[in-house]
Amino acid sequence: MDTQNLKAFVEVAETQSFSAAAEKLHITQPAVSKRIATLEQQLGCKLFDRISRTVYLTEAGAALLPRASQILQAVQDATRSITDLQGDISGELSIGISHHIGLHRLPPVLQSFSKQYPSVHLNIDFMDSEEAYEQIMHNKIELAVITLNPTDSSTLNQEIIWQDELAITIATDHPLTAITNPDLSQLSQYPAILPGLNTYTGQIIKRLFQQHNLKLNISMETNYLETIKMMVSIGLGWSVLPLTMIDPTTRALAIHDLKMERSLGFIYHGNRSLSNAANAFVEALRADAKKA
């Protein structure tokens, strides 16, 4: 049974789309359809139903999916083990990276790593930190560099690389700039533009206001901090952003005895040994942390 056909099957099953699977596999949609057809012919059964442009697993497909994932993982582990025995730092390294870290923290790390280890193929997916946790838990990616869960109690291994100081952020002409010694109760009277409260950064903000028995007046939510910063800068509301994002269009609002920060770092599954490539990337992250 061809592993390329199994890969196509798993991608279609997970995305529920032939076109999305083709995009992830970097092949054409007809090529995906051909691989699925070949697999169905080999197994002598139909694996997908197509209803109203949506793809659904048949009973046979649902039975095959966990086994196909196990086979692909076993092949990947075997390939990695052989490579690692040779001491080579090569092969594919699958990493999940949060959007903000990918933009503001990782470019120099990625640049130096790629130059030092040109035989490593970086397979990078940009995603929310919460999604990356799920991907690691289900062994879909080897490593993730993200905002760490402030309340994590799982078996995942994690290490802090950077501490990201957060600040109440407002436009330079926001009404709060005229208030001497503002506090959180005054802040709660104005609209806020925040990351989703189910995100790790959102949880920090939510707990802060709960501790002071205050309600958040949320006008908009988005998980893209760059979008939040833009909306804050034009006066649509206040937010909580990394201090490193403050520029001439915004300002940090100082509130007495208030300090917020989040931990940025990497995670990987506790039951998985990191490949040579992943270990090398971890060392590159640690080296960057020492420069800070």
pLDDT tens for the chain, residues 1 to 292: 688 999 899 999 988 899 999 998 889 999 999 999 999 999 999 999 988 778 999 999 999 998 888 888 778 777 766 766 666 788 889 999 999 999 999 999 999 999 999 999 999 999 999 999 999 988 889 999 999 988 776 678 999 999 999 999 999 999 999 988 899 999 999 999 999 999 999 999 999 999 999 999 999 999 999 999 999 999 999 999 999 999 999 999 999 889 999 999 999 988 778 888 999 999 999 999 888 6
Residues of CATH 3.40.190.290 domain(s) within the chain?
A: 91-292
In terms of CATH architecture, what is 91-292? 3-Layer(aba) Sandwich (3.40)
Phi, psi of 181 (to 5 degrees): 50, 60
Spatial separation of the C-alpha atoms in residues 34 and 42, rounded to whole Å: 12
Enter the pTM of the model: 0.73
CB under 8 Å, gap of 24 or more: what pairs does 251-257 form? 251/169, 251/170, 251/171, 251/172, 251/177, 252/167, 252/168, 252/169, 253/167, 253/168, 253/169, 253/170, 253/176, 253/177, 253/182, 253/187, 255/168, 255/182, 255/183, 255/184, 255/187, 256/181, 256/183
pLDDT of residue 257: 85
Tokens standing for residue 92: 């594919």
pLDDT of residue 189: 93
Q: Which of 181, 193, 198 is nearest to 255 (CA)?
A: 181
**CATH code matching the domain that covers 1-86, chosen among 2.30.30.240, 3.20.20.70, 1.10.1040.10, 1.10.10.10:** 1.10.10.10
pLDDT of residue 85: 62
Rounded alpha-carbon distances, angstroms, from residue 182 to 206, 216, 232, 257: 19, 16, 18, 12
Residue type, 213: N
Residue type, 194: L
| Number of neighbouring beta carbons within 10 Å of residue 171 | 19
Is residue 97 packed enough to be buried (19+ CB in 10 Å), middle (13-18) or exposed (0-12)? Answer: buried
Cβ neighbours of residue 21 under 8 Å, at least 6 residues apart? 8, 11, 12, 14, 15, 32
SS3 246: coil
pLDDT of residue 231: 96
| Number of neighbouring beta carbons within 10 Å of residue 222 | 14
Residues of CATH 1.10.10.10 domain(s) within the chain?
A: 1-86
